[in-house]
Amino acid sequence: MKILMLLNRDVYCVKALRLLLPFLKNHEVSFLFSRKVGNLRDVPCELLKIKEVEGFGVEEDLQEIARNFGYRFDFVDDINCSAQVEELRKMPPQLIISIRFGQILREQIIKIPQFGVVNLHSGILPKYRGVMASFWAILKGERWIGTTLHYIEDSKIDTGKVIAISRREVNFAASLIENILALYEVGCADIIEFLKKVENGKKIELLEQKDLGDSAYYSYPAQEDLEKCAKLIGLI
């Protein structure tokens, strides 16, 4: 199967690649990385520190992974530009897998792959849509955080039909970053299970988000949010 993976340059995507690539070796896989996720202007310094740690050593890790698996990792500033859309149409991928990709996909991209576009969200949908979902869940007193594998069906954020939700109990002895990293073990297992079903022509059981409870969207936290969360769990 021709698979296009859309990723971000951070430690979470490095871990996801290490978990997924042994399974993907029998597929024709291409990679596009976004250069950043979200707008980090005018955010608290503590949040910039978190982002710095999330990016530490990533370039070297990606180079090592590319060498070991024989892949080339490309970067894209605007996946929706006409030149990029035309390039994907010429490919075309049969499936797109998005993990922490920093750009909103438009309809012209979404309708290209035969088996659709799926996204691994590091939060439990629909309760925690948007950025830093695990942070907000911990701040709001949740004992469990998780990942949601869902389809991207339009240009709205984190709204598509749900394929799988996996949960892990918050480890308050570990940092926020360590807790989020641990989520990718269960999240990538859900991706692999989904891929097996697609390969074997099995039906994908889907859940509508409207049937899964209340929906809320979150953006980057303010200074006071970071201070409150730091009293519950180490941030980095």
pLDDT tens-place string over residues 193-234: 999 999 999 999 999 999 999 999 999 999 999 999 999 999
pLDDT in tens, 145-167: 999 999 999 999 999 999 999 99
Q: What is the pLDDT averaged over residues 65-79?
A: 94
* Cα gap 107→125, rounded to integer Å: 22
Question: CA 173, CA 48: separation in Å to the nearest integer?
Answer: 22
User: Would you say residue 38 has pLDDT above 80?
Assistant: no
Other C-beta atoms lying within 10 Å of the C-beta of residue 85: 16
What DSSP state is assigned to residue 200?
T
- The reply to whether the predicted model has a pTM over 0.85 is yes
Band (15; pLDDT cuts 50, 70, 90): very high
Decide: 128 and 136 in contact? Cβ < 8 Å. Answer: yes
* Mean confidence (pLDDT) of the chain: 95
Name the CATH code of domain 2-230 (choices 3.60.15.10, 3.90.180.10, 3.40.50.2000, 3.40.50.170). Answer: 3.40.50.170
Residue 22: its pLDDT value, please? 94
